[in-house]
Amino acid sequence: MSFTTQLQHWAHNAKIQRVVVVACMLLYAVSPVPEFWITQLNYIALYSLVILGLVLLTGIGGLTSFGQAAFVGIGAYTSAYLTVHMGWSPWLTVFAGLFITGISALVVGWITLRMSGHYLPLATIAWGLSLYYLMGNLDALGKYDGILGVPALTVWGWDISQGRSFFVLAWGMVLFAAFALLNLMDSRTGRAIKAMRASTLMAEAMGVDTLRHKVGIFLIAALFASLSGWLFAHFQRTVNPSPFGLKMGIEYLFMTVLGGAGYVWGAISGAVMTKLLEDELQVLLPKLLGTSGSYEVIVFGIVLVLVLKYLPDGVWSLVGRFLPKPNRVEDWHAAAALPERAKPALGDTVLEVKDIRKQFGGLTAVNNIGFSIQAGQIVGLIGPNGAGKSTTFNLITGVLGLSSGEVKFRGQTISGLPSREIARRGMSRTFQHVKMIPEMTVLENVALGAQLRGSKGALSSMLRLDRAEEQSLLREAARQLERIGMGHAMHELAGNLAMGPQRLLEIARALCSDPALLLLDEPAAGLRHKEKQALAAVLRQLRSEGMSILLVEHDMDLVMDVTDHIVVMEFGTLLMQGTPEEVQQSPKVRAAYLGVEH
């Protein structure tokens, strides 16, 4: 290997990249840069910890919070109060701050994260404001004067609350948090969070408890903010409410969006840019305008509008393109295979749909439909537009609740269960409109299907204790992609795939859950002739391997070609059911499709 090739190889190695980043940080600390620049970077480290939380919450999870400054305040005030008034050691108060922040975040999160749309940001504003006024009005916390004389952080009598030693401590924490976040994003939990943002419906169908994950990332973001508050209290040696108010909450969000909310390094660069810009403007603007005031806020507003318009993914979306991306190492070949569920014997009844009914107000979309699927069968569900196929599909998979009737899966009633619970029992589905995460690779998208076959959570992922399980999950994803003939495309970004391979990706993802029944919602929609042939071949192969499939489809050639049994619906009712030949010969079915009275 030539030296340049070796260099390129190193540049793409994630571990080497991290070692270089840590080395740069330490070099900066010992280099003869003026103290002023050390102090600047100390502040940037404090901001960075908070906005790393926002990367997870907003950039990856899609949840907007203006209330992060309040969590910084909890961390800072807890430590200031306990050290000054109770004489605790700061090394203990950090945990007390994290504990109180954690409890607050769980309570606030549990209440607010059920809200959607604009309600969540509004709720976080209310939360930020109320905590600000609480801090400013409590006698015990010194009202608006705050708490003075917060002790320094010391290690064996050595003050590490300022200058270069604080720089190493604060940036050590930032880099630890950054690496932990990068680890989290590349894990089972990270995929679940991204899926939750892409589509709640899809995430739940993959077995993801979306509310739990929302509360989880809200908690992690709050803990990062609390840690920043603890550092802040001992760096400033005093706390008062002003740095924890709504203005700062907005500024944290500004830094994140400016740098790039979706990128760990982007968010940190946002903190750097904001701090530098703020300092320059605070000197320049009063000179230009001849009067003093916080005019930099106006410039920030203009910058934000321009960034949102021209670089919606932040400044890092420009820079990041030129940096080497770590390659995924195929390290799963020797990983343990995932355990498989016991499958029904060929011919056993897998699904029993008994007189199910769904009413939307006065409209009966599904009217007493009943059919069953035996193991190893492909059953087609067909009917003209608006016949009630999708509604039936959603009733079986738990997306919609039944008005009456019963659905039994492998002998057990599943009516009323949430879709992720039904998924857990071995029913897996695809979507009429493909739902995937375009910026993840095909392999990672497919691995999302194996969500319920793993158990490692956020903490294990952040500390990289999940690798053995992760290798098994990726091994399974690669195996399912090979199974349907898409092994060659596993490292491509899913968003670059044509419609045919996208639909196959969804099938591979569904197979990854080791299902006993596969439900396919119009898998041939939008496919070209060759892609349909490939799909038919995959379906036949799956049946030959003993898979049971419910196929909702408009493409009659495909349905007649691959199914063993067909259920025909019209206006929400069961028109007939039988073999493909019987259905083809039925005058009732022809009439329904041709719109003739029967």
Ligand X SMILES: Nc1ncnc2c1ncn2[C@@H]1O[C@H](COP(=O)(O)OP(=O)(O)OP(=O)(O)O)[C@@H](O)[C@H]1O
Cα dist from 75 to 93, 130, 233, 536, 548, whole Å: 9, 16, 8, 58, 54
Structure tokens at 124: 């976080």
**CA gyration radius for the chain?**
28
3-state secondary structure of 548: strand
Three-state SS letters, 282-336: HHHHHHHHCCCCCCHHHHHHHHHHHHHHHCCCCCHHHHHHHCCCCCCCCCCCCCC
Residues 299 and 313: their CA atoms lie apart, in Å, by: 20
Q: Could you tell me if 271 and 259 are in contact, meaning their C-beta atoms sit under 8 angstroms apart?
A: yes
Residues 573 and 384: their CA atoms lie apart, in Å, by: 12
Q: Least Å distance between CB 301 and ligand X?
A: 41
Q: Could you tell me if 218 and 105 are in contact, meaning their C-beta atoms sit under 8 angstroms apart?
A: yes
CA angle (47 as vertex; 43, 48 as ends), nearest 5:
110
Residues of this chain, 317-376, that bind ligand X according to CB under 6 A: 360, 363, 365
Q: Least Å distance between CB 392 and ligand X?
A: 7
Amino acid residing at 176: F
Q: Where are the beta strands (DSSP E) in 410-498?
A: 412-413, 427-429
Binding track, positions 132-161, relative to ligand X; x by CB under 6 A? ------------------------------
CB of 389 or CB of 453, closer to ligand X: 389
Candidates 293, 301, 324, 386; binder of ligand X (CB under 6 A) is 386
Binding range to ligand X, per CB under 6 A, among 9-17, 140-148, 252-260, 382-390 = 382-390
Burial of 279 (0-12, 13-18, 19+ CB in 10 A): middle
CB of 238 or CB of 359, closer to ligand X: 359
Q: Least Å distance between CB 214 and ligand X?
A: 24
Q: Could you tell me if 431 and 518 are in contact, meaning their C-beta atoms sit under 8 angstroms apart?
A: no
Binding range to ligand X, per CB under 6 A, among 204-212, 297-305, 385-393, 493-501 = 385-393
Residue with tokens 């910890």: 49
Amino acid residing at 88: W
CB of 147 or CB of 569, closer to ligand X: 569
Q: Least Å distance between CB 364 and ligand X?
A: 9
Binding range to ligand X, per CB under 6 A, among 166-174, 274-282, 389-397, 423-431 = 389-397
Candidates 73, 216, 383, 449; binder of ligand X (CB under 6 A) is 383
Residues 446 and 429: their CA atoms lie apart, in Å, by: 13
CB of 389 or CB of 435, closer to ligand X: 389
Residues of this chain, 44-103, that bind ligand X according to CB under 6 A: none
Q: Least Å distance between CB 383 and ligand X?
A: 5
Q: Least Å distance between CB 390 and ligand X?
A: 3
Q: Least Å distance between CB 486 and ligand X?
A: 26
387 is a site residue for ligand X (CB under 6 A): yes
Q: Least Å distance between CB 115 and ligand X?
A: 21
Binding range to ligand X, per CB under 6 A, among 255-263, 276-284, 387-395, 449-457 = 387-395
Residues of this chain, 501-540, that bind ligand X according to CB under 6 A: none
CB of 290 or CB of 361, closer to ligand X: 361
CB of 200 or CB of 242, closer to ligand X: 200
Binding range to ligand X, per CB under 6 A, among 94-102, 122-130, 383-391, 415-423 = 383-391
Q: Least Å distance between CB 365 and ligand X?
A: 3
Q: Least Å distance between CB 399 and ligand X?
A: 10
Q: Among candidates 357, 351, 350, which has minimal Cα distance to 574? A: 357
Q: How big is the site for ligand X, counted in residues (CB under 6 A)? A: 11
Torsion of CA 551, 554, 558, 562, to 10 degrees: 30
434 is a site residue for ligand X (CB under 6 A): no
Q: Least Å distance between CB 394 and ligand X?
A: 8
Binding range to ligand X, per CB under 6 A, among 57-65, 379-387, 437-445, 450-458 = 379-387
Q: Among candidates 232, 309, 297, 280, which has minimal Cα distance to 68? A: 232
Q: Least Å distance between CB 522 and ligand X?
A: 7
DSSP state letter for 19: H
442 is a site residue for ligand X (CB under 6 A): no
Instruction: Report which secondary-structure segment, H or E, holds 372.
Output: strand 363-374
Burial of 248 (0-12, 13-18, 19+ CB in 10 A): buried
Candidates 4, 5, 116, 385; binder of ligand X (CB under 6 A) is 385
Instruction: Report which secondary-structure segment, H or E, holds 374.
Output: strand 363-374
Residues of this chain, 170-209, that bind ligand X according to CB under 6 A: none
CB of 141 or CB of 381, closer to ligand X: 381
Residues of this chain, 391-420, that bind ligand X according to CB under 6 A: 391
Q: Could you tell me if 199 and 107 are in contact, meaning their C-beta atoms sit under 8 angstroms apart?
A: no
Q: Least Å distance between CB 37 and ligand X?
A: 59
Binding range to ligand X, per CB under 6 A, among 293-301, 307-315, 327-335, 384-392 = 384-392
Candidates 68, 390, 419, 472; binder of ligand X (CB under 6 A) is 390
3-state secondary structure of 261: coil
Site residues, ligand X (CB under 6 A): 360, 363, 365, 383, 385-391
